[in-house]
Structure 1
Amino acid sequence: MLPELETMVVRHTLRLPAPAGPGGEGAAAARQFDAVLLSVGFQLSAEALRHLSGLSRQAVLDTAERTLAAVRELVGAHVRHNAYFVDFPAGVPDTVEFWTSCLAKALARPASREGAPVALPAGVLDLLALPGYGTYQHGYEEVLARHAELVEAGGDRITVLHLGGPPQDEVTALYLALAGSTTPLGEEHLRDLGVLAGHCVHGPQPDAIPVRESRAQINRARLAAGADLLLDTVTDVLRLACALGGGDVTLAQPTRFGRFSRPVRRALLAGLDAVVAAAPAKLTDVHAHREAFKRLGERLHPHEYPRWPHAAQVFAVARGELPARTLESRVEDLLAAGGTAEAARLLATAPGKLFRALDRLLRECADEAGTDAVLAAAEQVADRVSGRVLLSVREHFGNRARESGRRRVFVNRLGRAHVTDDTRCAVSDTASARLLDLLDAELRRRLPDPGHLLVDPAVLDVALPLSGRAAAAGFGVLPRGSLSAVEGGELLRFFVYWKEAARTTDFDLTALLLDAGYGTVSWLSFTALTEVEGEHSGDVTGAPDGASEFINLRLGAVRGDFIVPQVNIYSGEGFDEVEESFFGFMLREAEQAGRPFEPRTVRMKSDLRGPGRVALPLVFLRGEDGGWQAKWLHLYLKGRPHANQVEGNRASVATLVRGVVEREFLTVRYLTGLLSDRAAGVTAWDGGALPDGPVTFVGLERPDGLHPDSRVVTPENLRDLIPA
């Protein structure tokens, strides 16, 4: 078993594949392993500790080395986090005083006397031009020496690593879970699926692969192994070609196809030919990606293979030489002629498209008869629509009346967000109510019998992961729209880390404070190092070896109702271009002291990999009881090509935050409500004793001591709640 696969299981499931090895006296090594895990906020379950104790010392040490590397990376402890001000959060100067001292030092150096004051008569001072500004003035070891040891506190995070089954069983189970996911996977999960598919290509396979992007990764592994391809549409072949070329299998970004070997060309053309021969109507799918198919045709040379004439038709359609009228064009003709009912009946031949078009169809209805026809068409085909689409439509119509006449927030599959006015006509309350009843009934019918349902109330406000792009890869990350309590300390500390790949890159961590009306109260950034609420660790303007910035906040001193951390790209590479970048936050008590970065106080660490030049990971909001909660955003703003600052994007950030905060997301509470109608019993788990028998447990973390036959749903596999 490759070590990479075992650490992959740890990252995705927080389970330790049961190591195989010679028996021995490994108890002491296992306890040492557990102690080191505690230093980064993890702990072995009792069962895992017992298992390791029965192995040889060397087997335990090998397991510890792999596992520690995996969990350190999970929380961001695999890199060195330095701070510009060595005593941070103590010793942070007033901003103007700091800039003045930088200028004074520059003027004191003969080499800089000619350049530094030149811009001063115009009222402009370029901080970046001052010698020493933006670069660490001390080493990492000096930071460690200047900070006291972190004092242990009851609120420190402890994440339990549970014992899994044999490594091969755990790898296979992870592969089946990812491949069979009913929702699209995020970038990290999709990449890992490709690795797992290559290892598991000759083993058990999922009953269905609902997501096309996942199918592309699996087909790439099957092609390399000489296995039959799993193709249903011509777009499946295009996605596979993108995967082979190292491109974007979501087809959101164009792929530059390289040269394909002759066996690969034959496989792709044969696949296209088989799909079109079985269902000629699928040629209409070509129109959605005409340019990509043209480029692919130039690489496949279909004219050299006359035995696959149906494959040649694909490229003829792409070039406009062969007509293939789409369903969408026929629907548009009907709607233009006022035939809403006819359009709904035509769309019923493609149930998913009908449900995605329901809002428009209901707006187009001229009378009650048209509304009845649209809803009747939806009712007839509801059982053929994917659960993810049903839930998306349910969330959409649940917010429809609330959004009418207001600003709308749009988020694409990459997390890029923008805001526009809502100019849609209203949908009648009666039609919305009928549709919501239909959706609830269909979703309830599809959910499995959970037996005894055991629910941790802390998970109820977690949003359903209707898309893998609704949450970034990392640790403690929840889907966009999720709400979670902020507990475990009075000090909130944000951190960002980045390492540039090829050119000087400056990321800036900021925190914007808003009042109840989303107006600006203040902010912390490199232009405002200190405020009543806290301190900024200082501006680092390049990261050839990696760099970190921190913001320390005293929650009791915050004057606003919203805290919006953001990462601005001031200059250099984007989030998708740097070698590595991530954001997170820690919670600690005031008396704990410790280094600027302490892994066991990390509550969340999220990769920054998205479009745009401004990242908005989450927002903290003050509750009615005065406590704080986090609402997850995972948004990216386009920003400016250069010099993004909090001062320049306050209005757009406030608008986006308001749109997400005030939207009603479908959460675990909704699905567990439907599940409870079928459950043998429902219990709210308070952290106490667990039932003796098997249960369906839904919570933020798996409790130690559940019956082994229990079904467990936590944020790591929350997608399993989405019905097929």
Structure 2
Amino acid sequence: MDHALERLLVRHTLRLSVPAGPVGDGSAAALRFDAALRTAGFALSSPLLKELSGRPSDTVVELARWALEAVRERVGDHVRHNAYFIDFPRNVPDTREFWLSCVLKALDDPEAREAVEAQLSAGVLNLLTLPAYGRYQHTYEELLAAHAELTPADSDRLTVLHLGGPFDEEIGALYRSLAGAVTPLGDEHLADLAVLAARCADGPQPAEIPVRENRAVVNAARLRAGAAPLLDTVTDVLRLACALSDGDVTLREATRFRALSRPLRRTLLAGLDGVVAAAPAKLADVGQHREAWKRLGERLHPHEYPAWPHAAEVFAVARGELRAPSLDSRVEALLAGGDVPGAAELLAAAAPGRLFRALDRLLRTAADDAAREAVLAAAERVAPAVAGRVVLSVREHLQNRHDASGAPRRLFVNRNGTAWVTADARRDLPREVQRRLLALLDGETRRRLTATGRLLVDPAVLDVALPLSGRASSGGFGVLPRGSVSPVEGELLRFFMYWKEARRRTDLDLSALLLDERYATISWLSYTELTTVEGRHSGDVTEAPDGASEFIDLRLGAVRGAFVVPHVHVYAGEDFEETAESFFGYMLREGEQGGRPFEPRTVRMKSELRGPGRVALPVAFRRDEEGRWHAHWLHLCLRGTPSDNRVEDHRVSLAVLVRGAVERAPVTVRHVVALMRESGAEVVEWTGGDVPAEPVTYLGLARPEGLAPGSRVVTPENLRDLVPA
């Protein structure tokens, strides 16, 4: 079997496919495999342990070898996590005392003394010039020797790996699940879809591929397999051309198109010609990506193929030689003339989803009740044709629509995760209009939900936000979509960050901001404040040719205020996307457990650091009125400054952003479960113990053992399946 695909399967499903083969006595090897997994916080399910015990030992050992590597990488245990202060979290010095000790060491160093004395005379000292600052003063092996072994605790994480079916069936099912997803995939999952499509594009396919980015990835694989691409818009052809050039199928970034072979050029031009011939109005979509079409035309040479004149019209529109007014321009013309009902009817006929996304604006713009009634009637008429994720996105928008009298603020997050907050200056929507729309949206969602019979629900999943876009989270382990809230249970909260530079010296800094109930700054932990409120920073590492880690340790009971906001700054060098690797995570421990600074079985979350910003905010922690702590998932970034980013400089903007994110209410699993209950599903809360003997629909943070065959399981790994089509 292909180990890369096996790793991919484990990452998405937490299932292991055991290859067919002879029986044997692998019980000893299976037990060693399970014991090794437990050191990383994983374990074999009972059926999987039984299956492996009946296979030859060499089969178990081979499977264990790559599976252990896969799960350790998921939690960040594939690298060496050294800390600057060897005894961390013990014996962390006061910040100023530490800096002074670095100066004194430099003055004792003949090679550094002269430069340091000159800086001191000038009154400005650059810490990076001190030989003892920012560079590990010990080896990783010496760090390990300085720490006792971790004492096991009942609160240690244990993630179960389950027995999968035949490998080809599991891979095919995962391919169809990703390709047929009704919400856009994140970058990591989109890359995984490309790998799966290369193997599965000529096999069984999902009934529909509604997300255009997914369709482009699948189309590229279909072409390579000799199958015809699935095209019904001109933009499908553009995305396919991007995929064939290994470019950005989301069309966020410009693609440098490659020289294409004559057969590929014919395929793309024939596809364009067919789309436009069947629906000439689709030429209106060209203007949205005019420059990309011009560049693609230079590669396709449409003038060489007179047999496809409609394809040539696409490039004529891109060059401005042929007029094809876009839908947006036609809508704007109607609104400029005060014809709100006309604009609503145009959108209803041409793009029902666009009508739903424009509802707030149309209803605010409407001059009177009759115009508002026309907009609402159009929405009610076309609601069945609107994608389920759009219905839920509008629902989320409306439940965060507040009266202007309360001086509310709006949070904006673009597709890259860059966020900003601004005052909400929109006119109010009449309450009766909001109620009517909410009833329409909930009724339409309820109609599409398929859960019947018994619904088994882990209460811990109820406040998890629905992933209406894969870009609402990042790749990693234990990661939940933006807006989710999950409980934090443990005495010690420890953040960790790792990075490895790719081509030039890079310095990432881990910091944590402490805020009160009104989002005012209380204190922070960073390289400029190594200790506060019993918190400890592991020390600043300023370069990472071989990789570097930083940690922050907090005893939650000692934290003043209501918020702890960890974040990662790019102080110098490469952006997150440029680094060879960079990730953030957090661990939970009990007070006396000890252990190394990084212990994989205490990891609750590990999130890849990606995005165009220079400041990353993966998650915030909030204490409620009863003193319980919760994680609020952010997945946000700030552009920051080109260099020298520090928590002191960004604390105001960070607090504003955190407030906007925390106070925004997402559509959660709780909402969908309530609609299922209204539709007749029997909802049972499950907090452990035996599961029903008959098939159920299970919703939870992790799949329990013993579910009956035929059960439907929805966990964070496939939470997108809960969004109706």
TM-score by shorter chain over 0.5: yes
Deviations 1:168-187 (A, max 9, x none): 11100100100010000011
Q: Is the 8 A contact 1:613 1:640 kept in 2?
A: yes
Correspondence list, 1:157-306, <5 A: 157-306=157-306
Structure 1, unpaired ranges of 5+: none
Distance across 1 between alignment mates of 2:246 and 2:117: 50
State the AA in 1 paired with 2:566.
Answer: P
| Residue of structure 2 equivalent to 1:55 | 55
Deviations 1:89-113 (A, max 9, x none): 1121110011001111111112222
Q: CA deviation at 1:18?
A: 2.8
Distance across 2 between alignment mates of 1:405 and 1:511: 29
Distance across 2 between alignment mates of 1:532 and 1:637: 27
CA-based RMSD of the aligned residues comes to 1.0
1:441 counterpart (435, 440, 443):
443
Q: Is the 8 A contact 2:451 2:697 kept in 1?
A: no
Give the 3-state SS of the residue equivalent to 2:85 in structure 1.
coil
State the AA in 2 paired with 1:642.
Answer: S
State the AA in 1 paired with 2:444.
Answer: E
Give the 3-state SS of the residue equivalent to 1:117 in structure 2.
helix
Distance across 1 between alignment mates of 2:29 and 2:242: 47
- 1:634 counterpart = 2:635: yes
Distance across 2 between alignment mates of 1:521 and 1:9: 44
State the AA in 1 paired with 2:636.
Answer: L
State the AA in 2 paired with 1:468.
Answer: G
Deviations 1:342-371 (A, max 9, x none): 111111011011001001000001111111
Q: Is the 8 A contact 1:452 1:679 kept in 2?
A: no
State the AA in 2 paired with 1:271.
Answer: G
Residues 110 and 233 from structure 1, CA distance in 2 versus in 1: closer, same or farther, beyond 3 angstroms? same
| Residue of structure 2 equivalent to 1:333 | 333
Give the 3-state SS of the residue equivalent to 1:586 in structure 2.
strand
| Residue of structure 2 equivalent to 1:126 | 126
1:430 counterpart (412, 422, 432):
432
Deviations 1:463-521 (A, max 9, x none): 0000001011111000000000001x201000000111100000000000000000000
- 1:19 counterpart = 2:41: no
| Residue of structure 2 equivalent to 1:712 | 713
State the AA in 2 paired with 1:146.
Answer: A
Q: CA deviation at 1:121?
A: 4.0
| Residue of structure 2 equivalent to 1:529 | 530
Distance across 1 between alignment mates of 2:561 and 2:258: 54
Q: Is the 8 A contact 1:453 1:679 kept in 2?
A: no
Distance across 2 between alignment mates of 1:166 and 1:58: 19
Residues 560 and 63 from structure 1, CA distance in 2 versus in 1: closer, same or farther, beyond 3 angstroms? same
Q: CA deviation at 1:122?
A: 4.3
| Residue of structure 1 equivalent to 2:475 | 473
| Residue of structure 2 equivalent to 1:623 | 624
Deviations 1:278-298 (A, max 9, x none): 111111110110001001101
% identical aligned pairs:
66
Q: CA deviation at 1:247?
A: 1.5
| Residue of structure 2 equivalent to 1:658 | 659
State the AA in 2 paired with 1:472.
Answer: S
Q: Is the 8 A contact 1:22 1:59 kept in 2?
A: no
| Residue of structure 2 equivalent to 1:464 | 466
| Residue of structure 1 equivalent to 2:30 | 30
| Residue of structure 1 equivalent to 2:694 | 693
State the AA in 2 paired with 1:309.
Answer: P
Distance across 2 between alignment mates of 1:415 and 1:21: 47
Q: Is the 8 A contact 1:615 1:637 kept in 2?
A: yes
- Which stretch has the larger CA shift, 74-83 or 254-263? 254-263
Give the 3-state SS of the residue equivalent to 2:384 in structure 1.
helix
Give the 3-state SS of the residue equivalent to 2:335 in structure 1.
helix
State the AA in 2 paired with 1:563.
Answer: V
Q: CA deviation at 1:123?
A: 3.1
State the AA in 2 paired with 1:584.
Answer: G
Q: Is the 8 A contact 1:617 1:634 kept in 2?
A: yes
Q: CA deviation at 1:680?
A: 4.2
Distance across 1 between alignment mates of 2:113 and 2:625: 56
Correspondence list, 1:96-107, <5 A: 96-107=96-107
Structure 2, unpaired ranges of 5+: none
Q: CA deviation at 1:402?
A: 5.6
| Residue of structure 1 equivalent to 2:399 | 398
| Residue of structure 2 equivalent to 1:604 | 605
Per the normalisation by structure 2, the TM-score is: 0.99
Distance across 2 between alignment mates of 1:20 and 1:140: 41
State the AA in 1 paired with 2:439.
Answer: D
State the AA in 2 paired with 1:346.
Answer: L
Give the 3-state SS of the residue equivalent to 1:723 in structure 2.
coil
Q: CA deviation at 1:259?
A: 1.4
Q: Is the 8 A contact 2:76 2:606 kept in 1?
A: yes
Q: CA deviation at 1:268?
A: 1.3
Correspondence list, 1:534-683, <5 A: 534-683=535-684
Q: Is the 8 A contact 1:269 1:311 kept in 2?
A: yes
Deviations 1:312-354 (A, max 9, x none): 1111000000010122111111111111111111110110110
Q: CA deviation at 1:720?
A: 0.3
| Residue of structure 1 equivalent to 2:44 | 44
Give the 3-state SS of the residue equivalent to 1:48 in structure 2.
helix
Give the 3-state SS of the residue equivalent to 2:692 in structure 1.
coil
Deviations 1:359-418 (A, max 9, x none): 100000111111110000000000000000000000001111267742211001111111
Distance across 2 between alignment mates of 1:381 and 1:533: 58
| Residue of structure 2 equivalent to 1:86 | 86
Deviations 1:183-221 (A, max 9, x none): 000111000000100100121100000101111111111
Distance across 2 between alignment mates of 1:651 and 1:601: 32
Distance across 2 between alignment mates of 1:88 and 1:52: 40
Distance across 1 between alignment mates of 2:403 and 2:664: 8
Q: Is the 8 A contact 1:533 1:555 kept in 2?
A: no
Give the 3-state SS of the residue equivalent to 1:162 in structure 2.
strand
Q: Is the 8 A contact 1:535 1:552 kept in 2?
A: yes
Q: CA deviation at 1:132?
A: 3.0
| Residue of structure 2 equivalent to 1:507 | 508
Q: Is the 8 A contact 1:293 1:315 kept in 2?
A: yes
- What is the number of equivalent residue pairs in this alignment? 723
Distance across 2 between alignment mates of 1:309 and 1:316: 11
Distance across 2 between alignment mates of 1:533 and 1:301: 67
2:413 counterpart (411, 414, 419):
411
Give the 3-state SS of the residue equivalent to 1:400 in structure 2.
coil
Q: Is the 8 A contact 2:507 2:541 kept in 1?
A: yes
After TM superposition, which residue ranges in structure 1, 4 or more long, deviate above 3 angstroms? Answer: 402-405
Give the 3-state SS of the residue equivalent to 1:185 in structure 2.
coil
- 1:360 counterpart = 2:350: no
State the AA in 2 paired with 1:428.
Answer: P
Distance across 1 between alignment mates of 2:189 and 2:301: 33
| Residue of structure 1 equivalent to 2:141 | 141
Per the normalisation by structure 1, the TM-score is: 0.99
Distance across 2 between alignment mates of 1:521 and 1:174: 47
Deviations 1:238-278 (A, max 9, x none): 11111122211111111111211222212111111111111
Give the 3-state SS of the residue equivalent to 1:640 in structure 2.
coil
State the AA in 2 paired with 1:236.
Answer: D
Q: CA deviation at 1:306?
A: 1.2
Distance across 2 between alignment mates of 1:25 and 1:679: 49
Give the 3-state SS of the residue equivalent to 2:570 in structure 1.
strand
State the AA in 2 paired with 1:87.
Answer: D
Distance across 2 between alignment mates of 1:465 and 1:602: 23
- Which stretch has the larger CA shift, 108-117 or 669-678? 108-117
